[in-house]
Structure 1
Amino acid sequence: MPYPPCVESVDTLNVGIEDCCFLNPYEAIKLIRAHRHLVRNVTGYPSKRGIYVDQCMDIGHIENIHFWPFGINYNPEEPYCKWVNTQGVAFELGRTDWHYILNTFCFGYGVGYKFSETKAGSTNGNFLGLGADSCRRAVLVEQAQSPGLLITNGEFVGRWSSTDSVCLEIGPEVEGKVSLVNCSFWGPIDRCVWMRSPVGQFTASACNFVDWDNRGQGSPAIQIDSGKAIVQGCTFVREGLNVRIGQRVRSAILSANQAAGGFRVENHAGSRVQTLANEKAPEMTAEARSYYRIQLGAIGDGQFLREWYERERIGKDPGRTMRWSRPVSQLILPVIAGKPYEISIELSIPSQAEAPDAGLYLEGKRVAELPKGSTMLRAKLAPCTAETMMFELRCRGWVPAKVNPESKDDRTLGVCVHSIVMRADGAGEKVFDANKGE
């Protein structure tokens, strides 16, 4: 550190730091071999690091801490705020045994809670009521002792305006267990959990995953690259890929989870993954597959979409919904093998999205151009041998903020899609609601 901490305690017993405000220090509190310390009722906005603990061999306590941009008109892209929001660490624990952290909160840091490895070792402890808002990494685990990190009642939100935030990252060297119970994840998040350690173990129980994949690139809520994992009794609020299991995973048990659109797992580890009693996607009978409608922007549409923006409502009418596509967005639509179909897509096409090669593509071939002067795209589809057809809707990307100086929307949009209808030759008159599975 280029600057000394505001408060430092080295080789002490029973030191206490209470009822203090650290308004703008580079580093607020540093505790080295400060055994049985008690830090509580502390507020402030340290820029580089809030509290650092190392070589605490007897139980330390940190309680009721609130690190927040006091005295700052917070803007995640303002240079000072952005520096803290990408480089700052609110809480960092090196070697500390049986540590207790209770009811703490931080806002606008690169890392909210960092568990690092020093020459003396790493951490085990009890962490209750952790809160990290607008953090690029709410929790970053570089190492943990074998008794593990016991995290309960955590609330984790990604960095505002970001597209690469991961709420819990477990690094490739971690040996101890990381356990989450009754935690919640929401906001601008790419992945809620990223487990990378081949020798570690991760568990999540009774957790609530509200948001993820804010880039619309198909990121999972939980990504398990290697090691062992248990995910049980969790809820996933939005539709999308819930868990991705990598080839190097030694064991994964996924049970009793509920997810909008059905619990979805991408399994690259074969029989080393066990699933039981998870919510299933609504089933579509052959009759339903023959003639159905998908309302984009309504609950239940996500199971058919990849790389789209979030749901939106048109005006105040709850029945008028839509989604914006990206320059390339995918549709995964159920069909009856061997049957020809007609697809009809209701959409609005801004002039900025028009391009010579724009249109609807199936297996790399354009089956329909974007219609000019019309709100309906239609195409006849030859029979296929599979039970799904995967389409790409392609167009020129455009940014509203560059078209309209008064707009603050810096997304790269495509076209606005309202609904999709798939009808097989010889289908009956009943149109099934694919969003609801009925």
Structure 2
Amino acid sequence: MPTGDKGNENGPPFISMTEDSTLHGVTIYYPNQPGNQVPTPFPWTLSLSGNNVAVTDVECLNCFNAIRAVGAHRHYIARVQGQPINMGVLVDQTYDVGRIEDVHWNPWYSNTKEYMSWQLLYGRAFVFARTDWEYVFNTFAFGYAIGYHFVASPQGSCNGNFLGIGADMMANASVQVDSSDAFGILITNGEFTAFVDSHFGTQLGGSGTTGFADCTFTQWDDSKQGHYAIEVNGATGNLLVNNCDFQYEGNQINLGNSTTLARAVITGNVIKGATRISGKAHNTQKGLNADSTSTP
């Protein structure tokens, strides 16, 4: 039950873990964090560094910032749950494979208006900077500003494998990629639900290649404002959209009328209603998009 450094986010962590250490089977609860008002900052709860540090079967019930893994090569974070307010997990400067699995952030501690308004405005569930092939498996977050945030630190960006990840009711973006290592970010079996009108957070920019394969898009424009499921804004790279199912009768893809996008390949997709693909890249291939207007 940490009580120190109330109001001081930059104070020393509650628990600092170094090489070959493990924290297992505890619940961490901040008794001075009221759940019916704007949250109070506290320092990081757990700070991991060094090789082979593990956090398993731990509840971070109402931490402000829960787990920081910086320079924690081969870290293992598993079966962790709770409601971190500002940041759930931060990974940086990890140069050997780190693993995060079965982590679940949900508003179990407080869902009052004052508490959740702050969390939806500022909170980030998972933040990844420099980590070399991070393995993330079966993770979920509910009710933050950003679910999975990929950023650059002075040491670089993330590349990794993200399997079975989910995010519900993210106010800004379920997945926001500000920076990626050249080896890329692979997301498989992801589940992202906005709970408010959005275009799924698929606003694309940057110079890399972004691909959507075997994805399902639905309800991205319930308010009928003309949103697209996928929208390109100033990207200079490539877009691949293959074998996807657009289950909503609306605009599907906007490449932009003056886009600098290099290439776009849009093939083999199942579309409800008319095909609505706007704009063009320098080189666009469209084909084999099945119009389902004649089917139930």
Which residue number in structure 2 is paired with residue 249 of structure 1? 261
Question: Quick one: which of 190, 208, 219 aligns to 1:200?
Answer: 208
2:226 maps to 218
> Letter of the aligned partner of 2:205 in structure 1?
R
From 104, 107, 116, give the equivalent of 2:142. 107
1-side partners of 2:142 and 2:70: how far apart? 25
Distance 2:287 2:241 in 1: 11
Q: Does the Cα contact within 8 Å between 2:161 and 2:187 map onto a contact in 1?
A: yes
Paired residue for 1:317? Answer: none
Structure 1 residue 200, shift from structure 2 partner: 1.2
SS in 1 for 2:290: coil
The one of 190, 198, 201 equivalent to 1:189 is 198
Aligned to 1:87: 122
Return the letter of the residue paired with 1:28.
Answer: A
> Secondary structure in 2 aligned to 1:86?
helix
**Is the contact made by 1:49 and 1:89 (CA closer than 8 Å) also made in structure 2?**
yes
Q: Quote the residue 2:192 is aligned against.
A: 156
Q: CA deviation at 1:268?
A: 3.8
What's the CA shift for 1:192?
4.2
Structure 1 distance, partners of 2:103, 2:218, is 25
RMSD: 1.7
Displacement of 1:56: 0.4
> Which of residues 250, 272, 278 in structure 2 aligns to 1:260?
272
Q: Equivalents in 2 of 1:229, 1:60: separation in Å?
A: 29
Name the residue aligned to 2:244.
Answer: 234
| Structure 1 residue ranges, 4+ long, deviating more than 4 angstroms after superposition | none
TM-score by length of 2: 0.81
8 A Cα contact 2:175 2:201, kept in partner:
no
Q: Distance in 2 between matches of 1:82 and 1:45?
A: 14
2:247 aligned partner, one-letter code: V
Among the aligned pairs, what percent are the same residue? Answer: 35
User: Does 2:217 align with 1:209?
Assistant: yes
Q: Distance in 1 between matches of 2:118 and 2:192?
A: 20
Q: CA deviation at 1:235?
A: 0.2
Pick one of 160, 165, 187 that aligns with 1:125.
160
Q: Which has the higher contact order (CA 8 A, sep 6+)?
A: 2
Residues 6-405 of structure 1: matches in 2 within 5 Å? 6-10=45-49, 12-72=50-110, 74=111, 78-136=113-171, 137-158=173-194, 160=195, 162=196, 188-197=197-206, 199-225=207-233, 226=235, 227-246=237-256, 247-269=259-281, 272-280=283-291, 282=293
- For residues 362-401 of structure 1, the C-alpha deviation after alignment (integer angstroms, 9 at most, x for no partner) is xxxxxxxxxxxxxxxxxxxxxxxxxxxxxxxxxxxxxxxx
TM-score by length of 1: 0.55
Q: What is the number of residues matched between the two proteins? A: 252
- Quick one: distance in 1 between partners of 2:184 and 2:247? 28
Describe the SS at the equivalent of 1:81. Answer: helix
2:238 maps to amino acid:
K
Q: For 1:5, give the aligned amino acid.
A: W
**Displacement of 1:71:** 2.5
Question: What is the alpha-carbon distance in structure 2 between the residues aligned to residue 280 and residue 71 of structure 1?
Answer: 47
User: 3-state DSSP class of the match of 2:210?
Assistant: strand
Distance 2:179 2:64 in 1: 25
Contact 1:157/1:189 (CA < 8 Å) preserved in 2?
Answer: no
Structure 2 segments unaligned to the other structure (5+ residues): 1-8, 11-41
In structure 1, runs of 5+ residues without a counterpart are 163-187, 283-435
More strand by share: 1
Highest Rg: 1 or 2?
Answer: 1
CA distance in 1, matches of 2:286, 2:199: 24
